[in-house]
Amino acid sequence: MRKTAIFEDVVSIMTQDSATKKDIDGADPTGFRECISDDMSEKDFLYQVQTYLASFGVIGHVAFREKYAKPKGFVLRSTIQGLYVEQANADTNLQAGDQIVKLDGQHLEEFYRMHRAYFTSSTPERNYREWSELISKARQVTVLRAGAEQILSVEPSQNPIESRFECKELEKGVIYLRLDDFRNEKAINKLYQEAQDTIKRAACLVIDVRQNTGGMDSLYFPLLHYALSEGQVYSDLDWTDEGMEILYTERNVDLRLKDFEAYVQQEGINQEMKDLLEIIMQDLQANRGKGYVKFGGEDREMFPNVKEGYVKFGGEDREMFPNVKGGSHPEKIFVLADVYCASSGDNFVQMMKWFPKVTVLGRPTLGILDYSNCCQVDYGDYSLNFPTSRALALDKGQGMTDKGIEPDILIPWTVEHLERDVDLERCLEMIHDF
């Protein structure tokens, strides 16, 4: 597919099918059309399309990528203090602790001013994704390492930074769980099975989702059960979720049905997940082209044509586990959060904050659930992700974009975090006081 045709399709989707269209117009595509040609380089094409999409201000859930790009193999920390490397594979030539100070000979501040339109977020801590792209495309990267400047070329890695799933006893009665995504169903279920008996005897449970990039909400449901107080049921909680609405265009329904039908056919999918997906697929079929409709309720047809193309997705999840009651253990749960925690990770942290025995420590999450439930469009060498749902909290000015989910206890990031786990140390101090 020609580059000019791809861009026009992207514009069509963002103006007709993306759930953002209700709130955000994005930049005028005319100037981008003047810059895009079929014979331009891949690098320049990506830059132009990504800059156009950045104008919508939607972090993560609006994205245009190279389908076959090699893994970056590094993780950055973007702060007002500077740009640092938190993790890096050796083959990238970067090292954990490096401070990046120049790209292609330009100081970072100057480089940022020149490329401001490329960055989606207005908050420095949420710009690490764009910096990663720019660094991987730069000819030269200048880092401050061991007090001296070094000029190097950042190479694509042979391996991605892998998600970790870990259970260990930090000290007597304190169990630590790390989950870096809610996507790897096999690894997550194995972790739950191995940890189940230990958690039920633990005084305190620490759940580390600082690096959790999201996935499927259903994969964190077992953790919610531990958060219930003894004898408590879900209907006892004061839920405050406003719900969402879904944009049911022809294209959106076709794309989502295709994805879900393929997913359901995979081996190892649990019945709970299959049942949930079947409900969603029925809903997609039933609401093609309809207006606002409450998902799962008796008033499904209450608002049949209020606003063409949008359907309300309601909050029936509070009755999802009618037979689950809380136990006496763990007595207290601590959740470690950070800006890398996104999508289903956002949702998990938000839900855990509703439970009285849960305390969230760290930093605000990425905050990308204002627009979610994404579709992917395949353009051969490229792919586009765009959202089909919109949070109703936006109507009350309560969106999470550029805010994330706030922790109960804020631990500002400092360069000390590069040398030791400041968050976990603080958490253990609180446990000792508990």
Q: Of 162, 172, 76, whose CA–CA distance to 418 is shortest?
A: 76
Mean pLDDT of 21-38: 96
* pLDDT over 70 at 313, yes or no: no
Q: Of 222, 221, 291, 281, whose CA–CA distance to 257 is shortest?
A: 281
Question: What are the pLDDT digits (tens) for 357-394?
Answer: 999 999 999 999 999 989 999 999 999 999 999 999 99
* pLDDT over 70 at 319, yes or no: no
Question: What are the pLDDT digits (tens) for 77-130?
Answer: 999 999 999 999 999 999 999 999 999 999 999 999 999 999 999 999 999 999
User: What distances in angstroms separate CA 115 from CA 50, 273, 402, one per listed residue?
Assistant: 12, 42, 19
Mean pLDDT of 312-330: 60
Could you give all domains of the chain from N- to C-terminal order, each with its CATH number? 3-66 (no CATH), 74-152 (2.30.42.10), 165-231+323-367+402-433 (3.90.226.10), 244-314 (no CATH)
* Local confidence band at 303 (pLDDT 50, 70, 90 cut-offs): very low
pLDDT at residue 211 in the model? 97
**CB neighbour burial string for 116-155, b if at least 16 within 10 angstroms, e if fewer:** eebbbbebbbbbbbbbbbbbbebeebbbbeeeeeeeeebe
Question: What are the pLDDT digits (tens) for 125-180?
Answer: 999 999 999 999 999 999 999 999 999 999 999 999 999 999 999 999 999 999 99
Percent of the chain with pLDDT over 90: 74
Question: What are the pLDDT digits (tens) for 55-82?
Answer: 999 999 999 999 998 999 999 999 999 9
Mean pLDDT of 388-403: 92
* Local confidence band at 302 (pLDDT 50, 70, 90 cut-offs): very low
Mean pLDDT of 13-27: 95
Question: What are the pLDDT digits (tens) for 263-300?
Answer: 777 776 767 677 777 888 888 888 888 754 655 433 33
State how far Cα 285 lies from the chain centre. 27
